[in-house]
Chain A
Amino acid sequence: MKILVCVKQVPDMASSVTINAEGVWYVDEGLAFRLNEYDEYAVEEAVQLKEQLGGEPDLTILSIGPGRVKEAMRRAMAMGADRGVHIVDDEYYKKDSHQIASMIADFAKDKDFDLVFTGMQSQDRGSGQVGPAIAAQLDYACVTTLVGFEYEDGKITATRELEGGLHAKVKLAAPAVVTCQLGMNTPRYPTLPNIMKVKKKELLEFSPDDFASGDALVVTESMYVPEKKGAGLVLEGDAGEVAGKLLDVLKEKTSIVK
Chain B
Amino acid sequence: MEATREIYWNVGHGVVPIMYVLAVLAVAFLAWGFYRRIRVYRRGRPVDRLANLGGRVSRLLVNSLGQVKVMKVRLPGITHASFFWGFLVLFIGTLLVMVQADLMDPFFDTIFLKGDFYRGFSLVLDIAGLVAIIALVGLLVRRFVVRPDGLDTTKDDYIMHGFLLTILITGFVIEGARMAVTELDAAPELARYSPVGLVFAHALYGLGKSSLQSLHKVLWWVHLVLAVGFIASIPLTKFRHMFTTSANYLFSDLGEKGVMSTMDLEDEEAEQFGAAELEHLTWKDVFDGDACTVCKRCQDRCPAYRTEKPLSPMRVVLQLEEAAFRGSEATLIEDVGSDVLWSCTTCRACEEICPAEIEHLDKILEMRRNLVLMEGEFPGEEVTMAVNNVEVNGNPFGLAFATRGDWAEETDMVLMSEDSEVDVLYFPGCYASFDSRNQAVARSFARICSAAGLKVGILGGEEKCCGEPLRKLGNEYLYQAVAAENIEKFQKYGVTKIVTTCPHCFNTLGRDYRDLGLEVEVEHYTLFLDRLLRDGSLELEAQPFDFTYHDSCYIGRYRDIMDAPRQVLQATGGRITEMDASRYESFCCGGGGGLVLAEEKTGRRINVERVGMAQETGTSTLVSNCPFCLSMFDDGVKAAEADLQARDLAEIVEERLKT
Assuming the contacts A12-B398, A191-B374, asked whether A186 and B381 have C-beta atoms less than 8 A apart, the reply is: yes
Assuming the contacts A193-B271, A193-B273, A196-B268, asked whether A188 and B393 have C-beta atoms less than 8 A apart, the reply is: no
Hey, what's the 0/1 contact readout for B253-278 against A, CB within 8 Å counting as 1?
00000000000010010110100000
B276 to chain A, nearest CB (A): 12
Pair B393/A32 contact, Cβ less than 8 Å: yes
| Cα distance A200–B265 in the bound complex, in angstroms | 15
Tell yes or no: B400 within 8 A of A by CB: yes
Tell yes or no: A95 within 8 A of B by CB: no
| Cα distance A100–B265 in the bound complex, in angstroms | 37
| Cα distance A28–B194 in the bound complex, in angstroms | 91
Tell yes or no: B141 within 8 A of A by CB: no
Residues of chain B lying within 8 A (CB to CB) of residue A196:
268, 270
Assuming the contacts A186-B381, A189-B387, A193-B273, asked whether A34 and B376 have C-beta atoms less than 8 A apart, the reply is: no
Tell yes or no: B378 within 8 A of A by CB: yes
Residues of chain B lying within 8 A (CB to CB) of residue A32:
392-394, 400-401
Hey, what's the 0/1 contact readout for A28-40 against B, CB within 8 Å counting as 1?
0011111000000
Pair B399/A189 contact, Cβ less than 8 Å: no
Chain A's closest residue to B271 (CB) is A193
Tell yes or no: A182 within 8 A of B by CB: no
Tell yes or no: B436 within 8 A of A by CB: yes
Residues of chain A lying within 8 A (CB to CB) of residue B372:
189
Pair B271/A14 contact, Cβ less than 8 Å: no
| Cα distance A195–B436 in the bound complex, in angstroms | 35
Chain A's closest residue to B381 (CB) is A186
Pair A12/B392 contact, Cβ less than 8 Å: yes
Tell yes or no: A16 within 8 A of B by CB: yes
B267 to chain A, nearest CB (A): 9
Tell yes or no: B477 within 8 A of A by CB: yes
Pair B376/A12 contact, Cβ less than 8 Å: no
User: A15 is contacted by which of B268, B376, B381, B402 (Cβ under 8 Å)?
Assistant: B402
Assuming the contacts A192-B373, A193-B271, A193-B374, asked whether A14 and B387 have C-beta atoms less than 8 A apart, the reply is: no
Chain A's closest residue to B400 (CB) is A15
Pair A189/B384 contact, Cβ less than 8 Å: yes
| Cα distance A229–B66 in the bound complex, in angstroms | 76
| Cα distance A95–B384 in the bound complex, in angstroms | 34
Tell yes or no: B409 within 8 A of A by CB: no
Tell yes or no: A190 within 8 A of B by CB: yes
Pair A191/B376 contact, Cβ less than 8 Å: yes
User: A192 is contacted by which of B392, B398, B461, B477 (Cβ under 8 Å)?
Assistant: B477
A173 to chain B, nearest CB (A): 33
| Cα distance A30–B400 in the bound complex, in angstroms | 9
Give the most central of B270, B378, B400: most A CB within 10 Å: B400
Pair A189/B378 contact, Cβ less than 8 Å: yes
| Cα distance A12–B403 in the bound complex, in angstroms | 13
Pair B374/A30 contact, Cβ less than 8 Å: no
Residues of chain B lying within 8 A (CB to CB) of residue A227:
none
Residues of chain A lying within 8 A (CB to CB) of residue B376:
188-191
User: A236 is contacted by which of B268, B270, B381, B436 (Cβ under 8 Å)?
Assistant: B436
| Cα distance A30–B403 in the bound complex, in angstroms | 9
Chain B's closest residue to A188 (CB) is B376
Chain B's closest residue to A30 (CB) is B402
Tell yes or no: B535 within 8 A of A by CB: no
Residues of chain A lying within 8 A (CB to CB) of residue B391:
34
Pair B393/A12 contact, Cβ less than 8 Å: yes
Pair A192/B384 contact, Cβ less than 8 Å: no
Pair B375/A191 contact, Cβ less than 8 Å: yes
Hey, what's the 0/1 contact readout for B377-399 against A, CB within 8 Å counting as 1?
11001001001100111100011
Interface residues of B (CB under 8 A from A): 265, 268, 270-271, 273, 372-378, 381, 384, 387-388, 391-394, 398-402, 436, 461, 477
Query: Top 9 A-B pairs ranked by shortest CB distance?
Result: A189-B376, A192-B373, A15-B400, A30-B402, A14-B400, A34-B392, A32-B393, A32-B392, A12-B392
| 19 more A-B residue pairs beyond the given contacts A12-B400, A32-B393, with a C-beta to C-beta distance below 8 A | A12-B392, A12-B398, A14-B398, A15-B400, A15-B402, A30-B402, A30-B461, A31-B402, A32-B392, A32-B394, A34-B388, A34-B391, A189-B377, A189-B387, A191-B373, A192-B265, A192-B477, A193-B373, A196-B268
